[in-house]
Amino acid sequence: MDFSELEKDNTGRCRLSSPVPAVCRKESCVLGVDEAGRGPVLGPMVYAICYCPLSRLADLEAMKVADSKTMSESDRDRLFAKMEENGDFVGWALDVLSPNLISTSMLGRVKYNLNALSHDTAAGLIQYALDQGVRVTQVFVDTVGLPETYQERLQQRFPGIDVTVKAKADALYPVVSAASICAKVARDQAVKNWQFVEDLQDLDADYGSGYPNDPKTKAWLKKHVEPVFGFPQFVRFSWSTAQTILEKEAADVLWEDSPAQDLEGPERITAYFNKGSRARPRAPHRYFQERGLEPATAL
């Protein structure tokens, strides 16, 4: 996999794909969808599709593809290399979603939660395969959220395709297993070769599994939090684990336009992202105060 585009700019998203096998433009194909890295507080989330002609599905199964979570890294790499060797009938594509993209989406003014982001990314990859001329007639997807709702949504978007969404689909359908291997191999490679845009002193590459409950991951977060600027872009700062550490380790913030009499003490930086209502009413911006403007309650 060529990650040169991601290494140039790892703040957004990056799409990678194999060449489309000629046979996949001629024969009916089955396509699987899965992801890797949905839960970690560190690193990107990767969505992947894998597809092949229905007539060659037995050949894909013969490669002994399985749920990537049940395999060692070396086995995943070996099987991905095998899929690449069989590029005459196996194709794949993936989207790498950066931590920065995930967190800014979740904490934006218009909230875009992880489930919606996942659903849209999966649908985008299916559409990408269709746009490339792949004759997709069946799709199998590892669910995010309620499988019935997710399946109905995909079926409405792709009415000419038979869509199946199931929990643990990566263990049930070989084509989803193959997609899970593509996603996991890509995420592992992206994490290993991550280009930090920040100038970090004594960067520790041993951050454990990257999951929020991993003591090594928590220790890495505490070590690499900057009191004013927060975390490197490798961190999903919208995760509660990161926010808790930010509350404890980051500097207190006093907002410039807050009247002194309204402040009982300086607020933490994460208060800016608080989804709930503020305990204290916020004073109008000074633009309105200087001009004596007030909200109109009646006309």
Question: Is 120 annotated as belonging to a binding site?
Answer: no
Q: Is 35 annotated as a binding residue?
A: yes
Structure tokens at 68: 């990537």
Q: How far is it, in rounded angstroms, from Cα 265 to Cα 110?
A: 29
C-alpha to C-alpha distance for 123 and 130, rounded to whole angstroms? 11
The whole-angstrom separation of Cα 42 and Cα 207 is 9
Question: What is the identity of the amino acid at 61?
Answer: E
State the virtual CA torsion across 96, 197, 5, 175 in degrees, nearest 10.
-20
- 96 within 8 A of 73, measured Cβ to Cβ: no
What's the N-to-C CA distance of the chain in angstroms?
63
Long-range contacts, stretch 115-118, CB < 8 angstroms, 24+ apart: 115/144, 115/145, 118/35, 118/38, 118/45, 118/47, 118/144
Sheet holding 136-142, edge to edge: 13-17, 91-97, 45-53, 29-36, 136-142, 162-166
Residue 213: how many CB atoms within 10 A of its CB?
Answer: 11
Note whether 159 and 153 are within 8 A (CB): no
The reply, when asked if residue 202 is annotated as ligand binding, is no
| Coil, strand or helix at 271 | helix
> Hey, how many other C-beta atoms are within 10 angstroms of the C-beta on 58?
9
Known binding-site residues for a divalent metal cation equal 34-35, 142
Known binding-site residues equal 34-35, 142
